[in-house]
Structure 1
Amino acid sequence: MALAPHAVHHLYQYRKSISTKPFGARGKKLIRCPLCLLGEQFCTCALRRQLQTQASFLLIMYNDEVLKPTNSGRLIADLIPDTHAYIWSRTEPEAALLALLDSPQYQPYLVFPAQYAEQGQTILNQVPMSTLAEGKRPLLIMLDGSWREAIKMFRKSPYLHSLPLLSFDPDTLATYALRKGSHDFQLGTAEVASLALGAIGEAANGKALSTWFDLFVESSLLGRNRRCREDLLPITDFTDAFELAFEQANNGKR
């Protein structure tokens, strides 16, 4: 049975509804699934699962980011049931977004590099669940856009400056980037989210999200047809890896 559309799906439909012209993504002639935005023949929606997790996520997305087929923020919402998504506004942040930050249900952490911290801002690289007040769960906040856009969102959003930063040291990022084959250590939103899950003690869930990202990347490449199929590993290698990672993550919580 297919899972219901999530917060990013709804935000995508809203953003399309207020657009004055079609979004000119690469491969615009490709017939895409309206949910995962992959080519229909490479759609991964039937594989989507929900993880058992104590984490919640808040995606603050730059204006056009939600429309991009390459956006990896939606992969977080694919797997994490309690995920919220809003379009960033410099002058009028949504009341519901601000209410989340003040909710007694959550302890918010902004996942962002320590080098950009405001004076006096708390910096952490781990969040032991035992340190949270009773009844609270971590709300992991991701600024979803290009690197330049993410910096702009942080600097021009004073309501983020008092939040503790969850940050990863350069060695961690370099090791992860090497393992993932990323370039210049500028990891995608979903990749950083997988590190954040590890930082709250949910390494298996982080692995599941990481393999879901791998499947997304490979399916995207197939849809673009920019690499010879002989150069691509069989897509079943990635689907099998995700199914195994998901099983290991959820079996560990039974």
Structure 2
Amino acid sequence: MSRIQCPRCLRPQTHCLCELIPCLESRTRVLLLQHPSEVGHALNTARLAALGLSNAELRVGEVFEDLATLLNPPGYRARLLFPGEGAQLIETETETGSGPDLPLLLVVPDGTWRKARKLLHLNPLLAQLPRVTLPEGAVSRYRLRKAPGPGALSTLEAITQALEILEAPNSFAALLRPFEALIEGQIEAMGAETYQRNHGNP
């Protein structure tokens, strides 16, 4: 018998995260393009980001037929948050001197690195966007997935850090509250011994 699910956060009703999800405003618009394989994942951080930001949209798919429209909302300039050749370090608006300019549409592919690259391959308009990347040295709190390399963050963590840089001194730390609760709940359900054996952290 399947457990009753919260229709908003998609967690079991007994572990609903909605009370912890903020509703934060941002000048930056966030467009999350989620690979379908991530939708049913217990740690669906892209959904938490979309729920926690009033100026965010989550789309699920491999090919987005209306991508040209999604990437050109009036009053924004699109940037792809993804490392790679030619990616510029993300900066505050005061650093770039672009205060009066259009705010960013931050386009964030969500999936494993392989699936995210597939999204770029299947949607050439994405690959053509100017890229921005985060400073090196970030440490993920995502203790339940093996990071593919140093500085690898979950989608929610990457968005939070990007917004805190772009819109300093505004804080977006509240976005991480349901994420932390989700991880703690998973570790509790797993049991400390199993967690230590599989993940090697206290």
Q: Tell me the TM-score normalised to structure 1 length.
A: 0.63
State the partner residue of 2:191. Answer: 227
Cα 1:166–1:122, aligned 2, differ >3 Å: closer, same or farther?
closer
State the partner residue of 2:98. Answer: 131
Report how many residues are paired.
188
State the partner residue of 2:81. Answer: 111
Which of 60, 67, 73 is matched with 2:46 structurally? Answer: 73
2-structure distance, mates of 1:206, 1:37: 22
Q: Percent identity?
A: 26
Greater relative contact order: 1 or 2 (C-alpha under 8 angstroms, separation 6 or more)?
Answer: 2
Cα 1:187–1:137, aligned 2, differ >3 Å: closer, same or farther?
same
State the partner residue of 1:32. Answer: 5
2:42 is aligned with what amino acid?
Answer: P
Q: Tell me the TM-score normalised to structure 2 length.
A: 0.77
Q: Equivalent residue of 1:84, what SS?
A: strand
Q: Equivalent residue of 1:209, what SS?
A: helix
Question: Greater share of helix residues, 1 or 2?
Answer: 1
How far residue 99 of structure 1 moved from its aligned partner, in angstroms, is 1.0
Cα 1:197–1:152, aligned 2, differ >3 Å: closer, same or farther?
same
2-structure distance, mates of 1:167, 1:208: 22
Tell whether the 8 Å contact from 1:107 to 1:137 is kept in structure 2 after alignment: yes
State the partner residue of 2:25. Answer: 52
Q: Equivalent residue of 1:102, what SS?
A: coil
2-structure distance, mates of 1:220, 1:78: 20
Across the aligned residues of Structure 1 and Structure 2, the Cα RMSD in angstroms comes to 2.8
Runs of at least 5 residues in structure 2 that lack an aligned partner in the other structure: 196-202
Runs of at least 5 residues in structure 1 that lack an aligned partner in the other structure: 1-27, 232-254
The 5 Å alignment of 1:1-254 reads 29-90=2-63, 93-95=64-66, 97-114=67-84, 117=85, 121=86, 123-128=88-93, 130-131=97-98, 134=101, 136-169=102-135, 171-173=136-138, 176-177=139-140, 181=143, 183-184=146-147, 185=150, 186-202=152-168, 204-222=170-188, 225-227=189-191
How far residue 133 of structure 1 moved from its aligned partner, in angstroms, is 5.1
